């Protein structure tokens, strides 16, 4: 447990300074060395330490020992050296590292608050699972995060200390011992439980891809202590990584609901279907905020297809000269794809999800032409993804997809883009200030250079267009502030 404390202190310092990595000095045999420390490396180190430790019976581990172990993990080679698959390498690296740089709690929290408010289905089932409302889950989690970041030098605490802390209203009212323990049932586990989760989920890990296997600390970012050991009189819980706790707070309710339905004796698609509806509705709200209500409509209403036609896309944005069509996809990558991005397993997901989405977009264009809505207007098509797939607009990856679809005569033009919901949320000011068409023109300029270093994702494009843009969603920040007012969780 002492090792987790040392990792937690370093991670917390990075978190408090809003850094995802830094160079730190360590001493090795009286020599000072600089090593690069990253949040993802520290999370992996904490997980590995739990796997190999014998629950506190060995002598204490100091930071120098842990830093040496971390430097070894940093030198683990990516399978790219063997398979030479650039696309797989880019996906693995970006999925491992980029979210740490981009995560923004107010936006994530507000997004899921909006999605879950779509239907009482989510609240009712979540309460059945946890005996907490989704709002209680959010508020308790953020209270613990704020407490750990603002009041603790070492991210270790007791429930008694948490309850007696100076957390303001309305959060204080939620911090009863009963409700905290209900939250811990979802977000906390001991060493044995974490190891068990690792054995269950990572049993299919492919050799050479161990670095990318599922880390159970994403599910249980708060580690329970063991009453057999002396430290337990001082603290009972440790948070090895505040970034993992933040992600659990924002997305934990989603995963609890998803796992509940997936693990039922008769696995059910009920949650995924309902969440897909809610996500689609939420995408519409974001589009209306960015483009004005009068310009955004459901496509089924535009073409009078109200018989649940599943072969058409979801949303259309109309202006005088341009049409933007959006197909919303809430499906996530299977774990084996996420861990490896091997071509064969990635292609199966692409065929099942991306090809289907593009076919729907193409069928929608045909239908719009049929009813006379396109005329001479230029049409842009978007697959709008829930999951942050950071290199989905990377040239080689997109070229593979468009060429295959063109050969199958599914894709009629290359005016098609993959955009994530987090990108669209963050483009609020860019769209309102410069117009969406100008962003797409700038993107084409960058895409045509085919230089990987320029960055082909929409956020990079917006920054190239105007580096003074606010790349955070004011729409979502406003929702966050309505609940949290002026309490600053971060220093």
Read off the pLDDT of residues 24-33 as tens digits, 9 standing for 90 and up: 776 666 777 7
Asked whether the bond before 307 is cis by omega within 30 degrees of 0, the reply is no
Q: Maximum distance among all alpha carbons in the chain?
A: 78
Distances in Å between the Cα of 471 and the Cα atoms of 107, 153, 205, 283 are 11, 31, 37, 18
DSSP bridge partners of 315: 298, 326
- Sign of the Cα torsion 389, 394, 400, 406 reads positive
Domain spans of the chain, in order of start: 2-74, 121-267, 270-482
Q: What is the model's pLDDT at position 489?
A: 59
Low-confidence ranges of the chain (pLDDT < 70): 26-29, 54-84, 168-170, 204-207, 229-230, 232, 305-310, 408-414, 450-455, 485-491
Residue with tokens 């009189």: 233
Asked whether 330 and 276 are in contact (CB, 8 A), the reply is yes
Q: What is the model's pLDDT at position 81?
A: 63
Q: What is the model's pLDDT at position 310?
A: 63
Read off the pLDDT of residues 198-248 as tens digits, 9 standing for 90 and up: 888 877 666 677 777 888 999 999 999 877 766 767 788 999 999 999 999
Q: What is the model's pLDDT at position 330?
A: 92
Q: What is the model's pLDDT at position 260?
A: 93
How much is the pTM? 0.88
For residue 264, give the 3-state DSSP assignment.
Answer: coil
The β-bridge relationship of strands 378-385 and 322-329 is parallel
């Amino acid at each position: 447990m002492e090792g987790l404390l040392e990792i937690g202190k370093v991670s917390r310092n990075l978190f408090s300074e809003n850094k995802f990595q830094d160079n730190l000095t360590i001493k090795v045999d009286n020599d000072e060395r600089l090593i690069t420390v990253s949040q993802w490396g520290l999370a992996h180190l904490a997980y590995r330490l739990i796997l190999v430790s014998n629950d506190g019976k060995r002598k204490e581990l100091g930071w120098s020992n842990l830093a040496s172990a971390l430097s070894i993990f940093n030198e683990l080679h990516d399978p790219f050296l063997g398979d030479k698959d650039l696309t797989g390498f880019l996906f693995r690296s970006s999925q491992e590292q980029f979210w740490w740089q981009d995560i923004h709690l107010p936006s994530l929290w507000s997004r899921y608050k909006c999605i879950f408010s779509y239907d009482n289905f989510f609240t009712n089932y979540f309460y059945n699972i946890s005996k907490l409302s989704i709002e209680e889950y959010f508020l308790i989690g953020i209270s613990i995060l704020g407490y750990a970041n603002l009041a603790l030098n070492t991210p270790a605490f007791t429930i008694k200390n948490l309850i007696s802390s100076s957390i303001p209203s309305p959060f204080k009212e939620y911090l009863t011992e009963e409700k905290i323990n209900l939250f811990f049932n979802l977000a906390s586990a001991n060493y044995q439980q974490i190891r068990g989760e690792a054995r269950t989920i990572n049993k299919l890990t492919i050799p050479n891809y161990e670095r990318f296997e599922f880390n159970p600390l994403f599910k249980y970012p708060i580690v329970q202590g063991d009453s057999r050991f002396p430290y337990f009189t001082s603290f009972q819980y440790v948070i090895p990584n505040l970034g993992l706790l933040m992600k659990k707070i924002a997305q934990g309710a989603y995963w609890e609901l998803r796992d509940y339905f997936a693990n039922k004796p008769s696995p059910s698609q009920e949650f995924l279907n309902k969440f897909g509806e809610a996500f689609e509705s939420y995408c519409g709200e974001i589009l209306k905020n960015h483009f004005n209500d009068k310009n955004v409509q459901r496509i089924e209403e535009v073409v009078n297809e109200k018989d649940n036609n599943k072969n058409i896309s979801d949303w259309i944005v109309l202006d005088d000269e341009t049409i933007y069509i959006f197909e919303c996809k809430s499906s996530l990558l299977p774990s084996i794809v996420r861990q490896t991005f091997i071509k064969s397993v990635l292609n199966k997901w692409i065929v099942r999800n991306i090809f289907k989405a593009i076919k729907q977009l193409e069928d929608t264009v045909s239908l719009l032409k049929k009813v006379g809505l396109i005329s001479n207007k230029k049409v842009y098509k978007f697959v709008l993804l829930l999951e942050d797939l950071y290199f989905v607009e990377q040239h080689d990856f997109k070229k593979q997809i468009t060429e295959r679809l063109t050969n199958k005569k599914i894709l009629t033009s290359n005016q098609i883009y993959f955009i994530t919901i987090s990108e669209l949320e963050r483009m609020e000011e860019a769209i309102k200030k410069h117009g969406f068409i100008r962003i797409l023109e700038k993107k084409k300029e960058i895409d045509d250079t085919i230089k990987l270093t320029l960055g082909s994702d929409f956020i990079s494009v917006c920054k190239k267009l105007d580096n003074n843009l606010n790349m955070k969603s004011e729409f979502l920040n406003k929702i966050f502030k309505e609940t949290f007012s002026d309490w600053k969780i971060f220093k």
